[in-house]
Structure formats: C-alpha cells, structure tokens
Chains A and B, each alone.
Chain A
Amino acid sequence: MSITELEFEAASAESAPEQAIEGRSQWQLTWRRLSHDKVAVISLIIIVIMIALAIAAPAFAALTGHPPNSAYPNTGENAAGLPVSPGTNGFWLGTDGTGRDLLVRILYGARISLFVGVLTTVIATVAGVTIGMVAGYFGGVVDTVLSRFVDAVLAFPYVVLALALAVVLGPSLPVIIGVISFFSWAGISRIVRGQTLSIKEKEYIEAARSLGAGPFRIMFVHILPNLLAPVLVLATLYIPQAIIFEATLSYLGLGIQQPTASWGNILGDAQNFYQQAWWYVVFPAAALLITTLAFNLLGDGIRDAMDPRTERIFAASRARKLARARRRSRRRGQGDLPTASAPGEA
C-alpha cells in the first residue's frame, strides 16, 4: 500500500458523517455506547457483585456461623492438621491453614482489597490531577519543578522502597494506603499535565481569559471538567493496580497483618499448603484475578465509549463487510466470476 492509499484511508475515516454525535451530553452518549459493549457490561456486573459480596461479608459469617478470625481445630482441620476441602463440615470453600472458613476470609479480604484499591486511587487521582493541572496551566518554573518531582517519583524502584517504608514505619493499613497513593499519583499527574497543556490552547480558554476570568476560574470551570473523561478512564485502570499492589505487600508480609484477612496474606499463607489444599490457593487467586480483570476491562470499555472514533471504526468495519458481501452478490448476479477478485483485507 503506497502512501497515497494511506491518505485516502485517513481522509475517508475523517469524513464519516458526524451528525450522529450531536444531540446529547457526552456522559449520556458514553453511557449509551458503554451499555452496548457486552464485555464492559459484564465487567461492571462482576464489580457490582464483588462489592455487594464484600459488603455482605458479615452476613455470610452469620449464615455459616464462622466469624472470620475463629479457627475450628476440630471441624476445620483433618486428622493430619491440614485444611479441609470445600463442602466439608459446612465449610463451603474449605478452610485455611489454621482451620478458618476460607469463604468468609476471602469475603473479608475483598473488603480490604476494594477499600484500599478505591481509596488510594481517589487520593492519587486528586493529588495527580491537582499537581498535573497546576504544572500544565502555569508552566515555567512551576512546571519544571513539579515535573522533575514527578520524574523522580516515577524513577524510584517503588516495590523496594515500599518494602523499606513498610519495614521502617511498621505495617498497618494507613501506611499501606499512604505508600500506594504516593506511588500512584505521579503517573496520573503526568498525563493530566499533558492534557492540560492541550486544553490550555483551546479557543474557549482564550475566550474566558478575554472575559477576565482568573487562573483558578479557568482551571476549575474550564479545564477540570474537560479533564474528567480521561481521568475517569485512568482511575478505573488504577484501581486494579492498587489492589495488586496491596496484595503484593500483604503477600510479602509487609501489608495487612494476620489475623485481619486480605487476599495477599491469604495467598501468602497458602503457599505452604498448595500441594495438599488446592482450594487454599485457587479461590483467593481467582477472586483477585476476576476483580482486577473486571476493572481493567471496564476501563477499556469506558475509554472506547468516550472516544467516538473507535465507534466509527467499528461501524466502518461492519459496513465494509456488508458492502463486500453486497458487491459479491451483485457481481454474481451479473454473471462475473466471483472468485477472480475477492477484495483484499485492508
């Protein structure tokens, strides 16, 4: 394909009719497109179920009669002192190494994981947006200082530092939240700075300045609302990262401490038993995997839904297939050889 052909393709993608986009606010449109995306909808449902289960964890504890931190040496361990398998003695998903109900512990772990994931993302997003927007809007020295700081944070070998911090400060929930937030905001900040730089050049910003709007009004009334879409996507993708970060720390024993349950420390304990008790590893790992995957797929879905171009590309490819089929059938109708010139895949 020569360059000129590429141009033609590009030009035609640009010229698809735009009328369809007009008519509703962008959030409504995004929601509508999102609701047509099966993967995103399923992901959203999974997340909602996860949250519901986490909230309902005490109910499960009451239902099974197994509080999260109670060990059952008689019913929850077999003769050799090993965990019992799922379905045994009323333990739906079996027990853990000390004879506690695995299901209840996973659900209590979900509370910690989701709480840490969402809270750190909120903190990181607020910090990242503020710093990125200030750096991008004011530019100059402010930008140089803030951007170098962001570079420094991003350059840190953060797992090592997080471990060191956890050791020094002693592992606890606030420390974990602080550590994860500190290493998450910089990436958001860098992206927000870039977005701010491009929004700053828009004519409506100049219009606001000509009306006499000050820097804070411009940042909060004009720039921030236009940043929300990309930031929302980014935040959705940061939640699973934070969940994994927390699990990693807890797995290494530097995060949530026993007896409080967390997916990370359940998995950490499970590694001693994986040969005897498969369920001890599989269920918490599956919970972690399904949750992070659902957040990631939802984030992708939101990104696609917010970018009208992707929809156009989908529509175009759908229609190209249609047109190809139509052309083939027409040629057949004219008695031409249909196989002679099957159009190449673009």
Chain B
Amino acid sequence: MSVPGTENAAAQQANGQQPAPPDSDDDILVRIENVKKYFPIKSVGFTRRTVGQVHAVDDVSLTIPRGRTLGLVGETGCGKSTLARCVAGLIPITSGSITFDGQKISGLSRRAMQPFRREIQMIFQDPYGSLNPRQRVGSIIGEPFAIHNMASGNDRKKRVQELMERVGLNPEHFNRFPAEFSGGQRQRIGVARALAVRPKLIICDEPVSALDVSIQAQVLNLLADLQDEFGLSYLFIAHDLEVVRHVSHAVAVMYLGRIAEAGPKDPVYDHPRHPYTAALLSAAPAADPRTAAQRQRIILVGDVPSPIDPPSGCRFHPRCPKAQDLCQHEDPPLEVKPGDPVTHQAACHFPVQDGEDLATAGSATSAAGSRESA
C-alpha cells in the first residue's frame, strides 16, 4: 500500500502534524464517551414484547477538535449514521455521554436542547429527499431563522440571499422550488441551510455520495472554504475513502457498531493496524489503472454479521484473515500499538505490520471464513 522507504518519513511527518493532545478541553468541541445506542426489536403480536436489540452503536468514544474535520468511515450498517444522529440529538442514546463545547447534551429535553440545535447542523445525503418539495428555496434556507426567531422580513430575505451567493447559487432564484435545481445545486441549498445560524459543528452524512464526480469536487471545495472562513468543525461521514482522506484531519473506522481504528489520517491510511482498515483501503477503487493492476486486494470472505447478535470477542474475527483463538474470546481494546503516534489507536490483538501481505493470508482462511459466515 505504501511505498517502502518513505514510511518512516511519512510517519514522522504525520507525528509533526498532529493536533494538540486530546486532553486539553479548549481544543475539543465534541466529546463522545462510551456511547451506546441499542434499538429494541419488538415482537409483532399484541404484547409487543422486546425480543432483541440491534447494537447499532456499541461503546464508542471519539472527540472532534475545533475547526477540524473528523472523518467517519465504514460500510452500510456499521452504525456511523446512527452515531451522527445521536450527536445531532435526533435520537436519544442508550448510555454514555456526549459533551458539546464543555456542556453535556445527551439526555436533554427538546426544550433544553434547543440552543444547541443552532450550534449543531446537519447536511444530508440525498439532495432530493432532504429538501421539502413544497417549500421555496428562500423559505428552506430561511427556516432556521424562523425556528430560532432570528431575522425576519426583509432582513431574513437579505441574509438568505447572502447565503445563496456564498454557496454559489444565484440569489435571484430564492423564489424557486427545489425541483427546479440539479442535484449539486440542491446540495448547495442544504449547505446554505446548515450555515444559516452560524453553527460550530456541521454533521455531513454522506454529503457528496449522490453527486456526480465533477459536482462532488465543487461541493467538497465549498465545504473546505467554509471551514476556513467560519472555523467550522465537521463530522464527515462517507464510505468513499479517498473523499474522506481528502477532507479529514482525523479519521475513525467503524465496524459493526465499534471503532476499529482511529487517528490522524495519514498514519491510519498509510499504516493501517486493523486488518479491516487494511481490507477497506485495499478494496477502494483507484482511478489509476497502474495502481489498480499492482495492488493486492484483500478480499474479505462472507458478509457483515448481524448487529442483533454480534460475534463474540473481536467483532471482526469471523472475516479476519489474521484471526486466532484469542480473537474469538477476547474483545480487543482500542489502544495505541507499538511504534505508532499516541493518537493512532486500533482495536486488534494482532495488528497489521507495515508491508505484511494480508491478501494471501486471506485466501488461506477463506474456507473457514465462509463456513463461519454461513
């Protein structure tokens, strides 16, 4: 994955780039501590008893530094969107705590949460579904003002038009309906709406995955500019690893409700310690035929297990090319591996070494893996 010889240099460079240690409270905007979110499964019958629980987010701790971007990566159903909604206060958490700007926001009532709603905004994935088709663009972008009683009448209109201009929309179009805009323009409307009340944190849930490549780049650049201009923090969720690498300062990899690996982006991308991170990176399509031809893909066997009844021990062990007996019984803690910077943590008993060939190891255990997954 990485070119031999440059590894050390890259690691040192990554060390040098690191933000301040996570303990200084001033630099941390959001602190997520041991957050769990279980969804009960009710029986269909009359009694509607709880018959099981979906472990959507299971003991996750993360921090989002001020003015920076935390990228959250993982596959469908890993719990990344659920975690985002917990942080946004859209769904209550089962246990743990979320602190925003030094104040605990988990467990607050709707009324008590209201001031924080201004500080935390969201941008959604679907540029078609996230805008009310019956509202004019002006009232969509002006809605946060209406909810928080901030600006009204001509003042509101003026500010809406300023926002439209800022995100690259024609301010003359404030009277139009969302259907009259293309996907990229709608996503800009969503960005303008999130920006309206000057939030500190914007949660971006797959903001560009529904857009065409060239439009995607426009929106990513816009998000980067806005971060510089307003000192925004982003929690950026995506499944496209290259996009996340481009926008993030730090990344966290989620698997089945847990954090598999987290840290500053370069160490994680260049020296993945968790076999799942390594597999994800090796599977990401590269828009370069030579890279694609040379690369050894780690093909994971089987499917992601059900979050209703997650595997014992390490949750990745049924699919892991490096799994051993220990992994079945003991859940590995998220910790710094030898030789890594203190902010780079991985939850693995047998971390991947630089240059290790997992692709071949994978095929050796594939038979066992498919038996397990079946």
Q: Does A320 contact B (CB under 8 A)?
A: no
**Contact across chains for B180 and A226 when beta carbons are under 8 A apart:** no
**Contact across chains for A210 and B90 when beta carbons are under 8 A apart:** yes
**Contact across chains for B114 and A212 when beta carbons are under 8 A apart:** yes
Residues of A with C-beta under 8 A to B131: 204, 207
Residues of B with C-beta under 8 A to A212: 113-114, 117-118, 144, 147-148
Give residues of chain B (164-184) contacting chain A, Cβ–Cβ below 8 Å: 177, 179-180
Give residues of chain A (264-315) contacting chain B, Cβ–Cβ below 8 Å: none
Given contacts A204-B130, A217-B147, A225-B134, contact A210 B122 (CB under 8 A): yes
Taken together as a complex, chains A and B put the C-alpha atoms of A204 and B193 apart, in Å, by 12
**Contact across chains for A206 and B133 when beta carbons are under 8 A apart:** no
**Contact across chains for B130 and A207 when beta carbons are under 8 A apart:** yes
**Contact across chains for B148 and A204 when beta carbons are under 8 A apart:** no
Q: Does B103 contact A (CB under 8 A)?
A: no
**Contact across chains for B114 and A210 when beta carbons are under 8 A apart:** no
Q: Does B88 contact A (CB under 8 A)?
A: yes
Taken together as a complex, chains A and B put the C-alpha atoms of A204 and B186 apart, in Å, by 12
Given contacts A206-B90, A207-B124, A207-B130, contact A214 B143 (CB under 8 A): no
Give residues of chain B (80-126) contacting chain A, Cβ–Cβ below 8 Å: 88-90, 110, 113-114, 117-118, 120-122, 124-126
Q: Does A87 contact B (CB under 8 A)?
A: no
Residues of A with C-beta under 8 A to B148: 212
**Contact across chains for B129 and A213 when beta carbons are under 8 A apart:** no
Taken together as a complex, chains A and B put the C-alpha atoms of A214 and B132 apart, in Å, by 16
> Which residue on A lies nearest to B120, using beta carbons?
A210
| Stretch from A22-30, A31-39, A51-59 contacting the other chain | A22-30
Provide the B180-192 mask, 1 if CB < 8 A to any CB of A, else 0.
Answer: 1000000000100
Taken together as a complex, chains A and B put the C-alpha atoms of A234 and B336 apart, in Å, by 63
> Which residue on B lies nearest to A21, using beta carbons?
B179
> Which residue on A lies nearest to B124, using beta carbons?
A203
Residues of B with C-beta under 8 A to A221: 132, 135, 143
Give residues of chain B (122-167) contacting chain A, Cβ–Cβ below 8 Å: 122, 124-126, 129-135, 143-144, 147-148
Q: Does A202 contact B (CB under 8 A)?
A: yes
Q: Does A175 contact B (CB under 8 A)?
A: no
**Contact across chains for A211 and B124 when beta carbons are under 8 A apart:** no
B281 → chain A closest CB, angstroms = 30
Q: Does A200 contact B (CB under 8 A)?
A: no
> Which residue on A lies nearest to B115, using beta carbons?
A212
A108 → chain B closest CB, angstroms = 41
Q: Does A209 contact B (CB under 8 A)?
A: yes
**Contact across chains for A211 and B134 when beta carbons are under 8 A apart:** no
Q: Does A222 contact B (CB under 8 A)?
A: yes
Choice from B129, B133, B177, B193 contacting A211 with Cβ under 8 Å: B193
Taken together as a complex, chains A and B put the C-alpha atoms of A240 and B138 apart, in Å, by 39
Taken together as a complex, chains A and B put the C-alpha atoms of A163 and B330 apart, in Å, by 74
For the complex, count residues of A whose C-beta is within 8 A of B: 24
A332 → chain B closest CB, angstroms = 43
Choice from A210, A213, A225 contacting B88 with Cβ under 8 Å: A210
**Contact across chains for A226 and B143 when beta carbons are under 8 A apart:** no
Taken together as a complex, chains A and B put the C-alpha atoms of A290 and B114 apart, in Å, by 56
Choice from B110, B113, B122 contacting A207 with Cβ under 8 Å: B122
Give residues of chain A (192-232) contacting chain B, Cβ–Cβ below 8 Å: 202-204, 206-214, 217, 221-222, 225-226, 228
Choice from B89, B110, B121, B193 contacting A214 with Cβ under 8 Å: B110
**Contact across chains for A225 and B135 when beta carbons are under 8 A apart:** yes
**Contact across chains for A208 and B90 when beta carbons are under 8 A apart:** no
**Contact across chains for B132 and A225 when beta carbons are under 8 A apart:** yes
**Contact across chains for A213 and B90 when beta carbons are under 8 A apart:** no
A211, A214, A226 interface centre (most CB from chain B within 10 Å) = A211
Given contacts A209-B90, A210-B88, A214-B110, contact A222 B147 (CB under 8 A): no
A25, A206, A207, A221 interface centre (most CB from chain B within 10 Å) = A207
Given contacts A213-B147, A217-B147, contact A226 B132 (CB under 8 A): yes
**Contact across chains for A211 and B143 when beta carbons are under 8 A apart:** yes
A299 → chain B closest CB, angstroms = 21
A21, A203, A213 interface centre (most CB from chain B within 10 Å) = A203
> Which residue on A lies nearest to B196, using beta carbons?
A211
> Which residue on A lies nearest to B88, using beta carbons?
A210
Residues of A with C-beta under 8 A to B143: 208, 211, 213, 221
B80 → chain A closest CB, angstroms = 16
Taken together as a complex, chains A and B put the C-alpha atoms of A86 and B124 apart, in Å, by 70
Given contacts A26-B133, A217-B147, contact A211 B121 (CB under 8 A): yes
Residues of B with C-beta under 8 A to A202: 129
Residues of A with C-beta under 8 A to B121: 210-211
Taken together as a complex, chains A and B put the C-alpha atoms of A211 and B140 apart, in Å, by 11
Taken together as a complex, chains A and B put the C-alpha atoms of A209 and B144 apart, in Å, by 10
Taken together as a complex, chains A and B put the C-alpha atoms of A25 and B135 apart, in Å, by 10
Residues of A with C-beta under 8 A to B89: 210
**Contact across chains for A204 and B90 when beta carbons are under 8 A apart:** no
Taken together as a complex, chains A and B put the C-alpha atoms of A222 and B275 apart, in Å, by 45
> Which residue on B lies nearest to A204, using beta carbons?
B132
**Contact across chains for A226 and B133 when beta carbons are under 8 A apart:** yes
**Contact across chains for A206 and B134 when beta carbons are under 8 A apart:** no
Residues of B with C-beta under 8 A to A206: 90, 122, 124, 130
Residues of B with C-beta under 8 A to A22: 179-180
Residues of B with C-beta under 8 A to A210: 88-90, 117, 120-122
Other 6 A-B pairs with CB < 8 A, given A207-B131, A207-B190:
A204-B131, A212-B144, A212-B148, A214-B110, A222-B132, A226-B132
The 5 closest A-B pairs by CB, nearest first: A212-B117, A225-B134, A203-B129, A203-B130, A204-B132
Subset of 27 A-B contacts with CB under 8 Å = A22-B179, A23-B179, A24-B180, A26-B179, A202-B129, A203-B124, A203-B125, A203-B126, A204-B130, A207-B130, A207-B131, A208-B132, A208-B143, A210-B88, A210-B89, A211-B117, A212-B114, A212-B144, A212-B147, A213-B143, A213-B147, A217-B147, A221-B135, A222-B132, A222-B135, A225-B134, A226-B132
Binding site for A on B (CB under 8 A): 88-90, 110, 113-114, 117-118, 120-122, 124-126, 129-135, 143-144, 147-148, 177, 179-180, 190, 193
